Structure 1
């Protein structure tokens, strides 16, 4: 390693679903080469940032508390995309990596790691099935043990239920919420217990519907940070199968990365490019569409984050060696 002491900046706007994609990749790289991870939360781009990009003008660096140059820079989300333009000026020797689709800004990065269904191509692009994440066997085992007492109170089979929310393409309309309610009721009638968590994107009507179940003995409902420690990883670890609304790439990918069969629940709107992800999960044996019954079959964990990290580490070390670092 070089004079930058293996420092890795993980850059996002701080939203958990965005940050975890970059942080999970950084942690996977750290399992391969010595790294010190520094998490940075940066503001979303201003109109000046957008205008500068459209006009092709350089963006002047802005001072902040992160003055130590990293060896590796990993970002996710729109805020990181614009921060990369500034940080390229500040840290010209760093190896820059972007997770997700960078659009027309791909040339800013030494490596782009993007989901297959985004259709990103280029010499510096690595495609993954779904998104990178923080799922590891060790983390799942630790979290399952931490929440073991609560898990033990739930009868088998245990179904983790991961509920997303509306997006540009997907609607959580009355029909979708009714479909979720019907699915949860059917699973319980079949004798399954439910471990339920909703996204920050989930609309109030979803939360109101879920609160009706909070006191049921066969339901564990986690209602957000105010409810205490997040059992999300424990849900994935303890589940026999996982029900996921089809809008969330992150939740779908995390579920299959946990090595559990995934039942996808249809939501309103148009799947668009996400249909490619759904089709790939079905074709490769990771998922199926929820048809009302508890489905279960043997699944090997998806290890796309590790695969991407191996490629990243190899390219990063090759560049460092070439530079004589």
Structure 2
């Protein structure tokens, strides 16, 4: 798969950029976003972007600290068929994301160097490993990793910009454009590694969103995700009753991200860093509907984003002014290219 038809030239050689993942959507899409942006940063049309999905060895997943000390033959065995492809293709850059892929990135890095290929590795998110295991490490600014090869971002990396959103908005049908103003998109997440969504939580969220629509007079564009409990959508549509709304049918074309170019504000459930990050590109009011009080890394992410003026908690009114937009990719790409040139 090649997510972009454009090509680029890395370090003066005709070569590939690889995105290597285990297929986990949130991680894979961040890595593709960076790869696509690197491709788009140049106009030399020399290099392709390859999207490669593998099943990482359990040894690489669970014991990444041992990888730098493993012999070449064992690294090749643990990597499987991608090791052969690495030696054949000799990609200029390999991008991975998430702790589950950290060991694979380290193994690919060491095997490439052992073969004299000179492939550079970029890993996204803090793997809780020494940064020098990677050529470039990109971590959320609220995570502790720091070093000369470490770049930080406030939000998760994504491919959205205002131009892409506007183009997609122009393709929306009457179901969405016919909603009366003010319009508010509601991006619904769901169960995650931190907590499940109980029936009571779903009912409470439905009531909160219906109360918001009643008090603000807003029509709601409801966009569930694959993680959204079916009972939440049922509770929500029942609670909204005669109020104006539209809900995405899984059989129809996804109105996202075009819906972001149609609405006056966006509500996002608190569980998804990626959905929040994408929405902040718009500069619209981004309102966070909490399932429960968020703690740890995601709590720190919310705090940083609120302090910077990108998001706010969901209240019973619609903000009249836009929020500070957040579009980090150009600066990230510039810093990555500068380090690749060293």
Bin for the TM-score computed over the shorter chain: 0.7 to 0.9
Does 1:99 pair with 2:124? yes
Q: Which runs of 5+ in 2 are unaligned?
A: 1-8
* Secondary structure of the structure 1 residue equivalent to 2:96: strand
Q: CA deviation at 1:198?
A: 2.3
Selected match of 1:158 from 173, 179, 183: 183
Q: Sort the Cα spacing of 1:265 and 1:4 in 2 relative to 1 into closer, same or farther, 3 A.
A: same
1:13 to 2:28 alignment = no
Select 1:205's aligned residue among 231, 239, 252. 231
For 1:297 and 1:155, locate their aligned partners in 2 and report how far apart those are by CA, in whole Å: 19
Please give the secondary structure, in 2, of the residue aligned with 1:230.
coil
Match of 1:80 among 85, 101, 113: 101
Match of 2:207 among 182, 197, 200: 182
State the distance in 2 between where 1:4 and 1:207 align: 51
In the other structure, the counterpart of 1:24 is: 33
Q: After alignment, is 28-37 or 106-115 more displaced?
A: 28-37
Q: Tell me which residue corresponds to 1:243.
A: 267
SS at 2:81 equivalent: coil
Greater relative CO, 1 or 2 (CA 8 Å, sep 6+): 1
Aligned partner of 2:52 in structure 1 is 40
Tell me how far 1:126 sits from its aligned partner: 1.0
Structure 1 unpaired stretches of 5+: 320-325
Structure 2 length normalisation: TM-score? 0.82
C-alpha distance 158-84 of structure 1, shift in aligned 2 (>3 A)? same
Structure-2 change in CA distance of 1:213 and 1:176 (3 Å): closer
Q: What displacement does 1:171 show?
A: 4.4
Match of 1:274 in 2: 298
2:4 counterpart residue number: none
CA-CA distance at 1:96 after TM superposition? 0.9
Report the CA distance between 1:51 and its aligned residue. 5.7
Cα–Cα, structure 1 residues 216 and 230, in superposed 2: closer, same or farther, change >3 Å?
farther
Distance of 1:315 and 1:38 partners within structure 2? 21
